[in-house]
Structure 1
Amino acid sequence: MALSATLYTFTIQLADVDRGVYQDLDLRVARHPSETAEYMLTRLLAYCLEYEDGIAFSDGGVSATDEPPVLVRDLTGRLTAWIDVGAPDADRIHRAAKLADRVAIYTHRDPAKVLAALSGKRIHRAETIPLYSLDREFVDEAAAAIGRRTAASISVTERELYLDLDGTGFSTAIEEHRLG
């Protein structure tokens, strides 16, 4: 019998000073049985850090190969942003850059290893694709603080991320790297 996804509920106060985005979010995030808590947190943070009209978690979840974990569509349904998480392979990112106007990758893994795996590979518009890395210790500690129902506040100022999960605070720099 296949295991089903576990549903997590987040009530988030988002204040992204860098982008001028201030929003209260009520999100239900399905965590696939094969998905780590760290990956789910990175996926949630990618959603919040990229928040704009039309953003959504993909329907296919973490196992979808034809769409990213987080995406943005315009009012016509056209894919405008492909937001990937983790360490996607070069073919996936190449195809994403052809499908969407904008591509971004968020990782909780060693950015040097992610970049090395993509180095020298054919990736359409690689020089325009940012890789945002979050400190592994930050992700591990914050992921351990997530409950099935979590109240959170996320603040971003000068690329410094401040995260409060049910009264427990965490912070890290958001490091930006380029694929090309």
Structure 2
Amino acid sequence: MQSLSFQTKRGREIESVFDGLAALRIAVFRDFPYLYEGTIEYEKTYLETYARSDRSFLFAVYDGPKMVGATTCIPLQDETAEVRKPFETSDFDLTTLFYFGESILLPEYRGLGLGHRFFDEREAHARSFGTFKTACFCAVERPEDHPAKPADYRPNDAFWLKRGYTKLPSLRSYMAWPDRGEEVSTPKPMVYWMREL
């Protein structure tokens, strides 16, 4: 931990670290369960969503000049249509919801308590406005017998439950991306978790 440093950025400031954040997202999301075959170009387009919101937030971890971990959050009403959709069709008040984006760390930096730090930072940012009541995020749902599932794979469900989040299988989005080694995007179910702030 002594070699690590931390940075926070908000709104348009996030644009200054697009390259590092995009590369980190691609590296981490290549692993199960996402199996994401991403491109820097696509990542930068998606990350523009965060740069356009003046209430978005990034907390990043660096080892020297290299970004090795990052987490983001944004008011749900500023997110993409596919993320907003299940809440809009379920009559939630989007103005009270804060969406937590990625929470990613390179494998060699896991187990240091940074996952908790990521949630602490995002929850504090969401609460700082005084108007948001609920935090939410989504995670991909893969079949139990998926052929790419490692034998030692452990989902993050226990960690999220410990943080006070509840899984809501009735709330889901479908996001499309090409799985690793594929060229065609296919839709993946993304199930939401929520907790009161």
Question: Under a length normalisation based on structure 2, what TM-score does the superposition of the two structures give?
Answer: 0.29
Question: Under a length normalisation based on structure 1, what TM-score does the superposition of the two structures give?
Answer: 0.31
Q: If each structure's strand is expressed as a fraction of its own residues, which one has the higher value?
A: 1
Q: If each structure's helix is expressed as a fraction of its own residues, which one has the higher value?
A: 2
